[in-house]
Chain A
Amino acid sequence: AQRVTQPEKLLSVFKGAPVELKCNYSYSGSPELFWYVQYSRQRLQLLLRHISRESIKGFTADLNKGETSFHLKKPFAQEEDSAMYYCAFHTGRRALTFGSGTRLQVQP
C-alpha cells in the first residue's frame, strides 16, 4: 500500500538551530514527493516539490530512493517557520497521499 510516514508529531527547536523533519514513503515505483506547510489560521500550501530541486524559505529536501526518504531540512530555524508540515506524494493520475504531519515549534 502507498503510505507516507512522518514519525515525529512535534519537533521543538530553538531559533538558529538546524531542523530536519523526517519523511519516509512506501511505494515501489517513482513517486513525486512534496512538502506542504500550514501556518496558523492559513490554508495548506505547497512548500516544495522534489522535481524542482529548489530551496524555498531556506528549506531543502532530497529524495533518497534507496532509503525511500524525503526529509526536509533547514540549517537555521526562524520563529516564522513554526507551522504544521506535511509530507505527501502522488503517482501519475492519483491524488496526493499525505503523512500525518509534524508540528515544528521554533522557540526564541
Chain B
Amino acid sequence: EAQVTQNPRYLITVTGKKLTVTCSQNMNHEYMSWYRQDPGLGLRQIYYSMNVEVTDKGDVPEGYKVSRKEKRNFPLILESPSPNQTSLYFCASSLFGSGSSYNEQFFGPGTRLTVL
C-alpha cells in the first residue's frame, strides 16, 4: 500500500529534550516536506526537500532541522524543543516539487507533539 508513515503518532516531552520525528514514504517520491498545523493558522510548511541531500526552509523553519540522506526518509529534528512548538505535525511527499501543475501531496497521519 502506497503511504507516508510517521512515528511517533503522539509525543509528550519537556523543554530542551532533543527529539526526532521520523517520516518514510514508499512511493519513490522526490519531494518531501514537513508542516505544522495550528488552530486558526492552518498548515504552514517548515522544511522541504526536492531530492536526496537537497533541503530548504519553508515558512516557519526556526527551531527545526531536517535531513534527507535517503530518498524515502525525511526526519524532523527538534534540537531543543520549546512549548511554542507544541503542535500537530504532518509529513508529506509528492512525485515532484511544488510548481508542477499536477502536484498531489500525500500526507502522513500526523504527530501530535506536546512540549511541557
Q: Do A and B bind each other?
A: no
Chain B interface residues (CB < 8 Å from chain A) = none
Chain A residues proximal to chain B, CB less than 8 Å: none
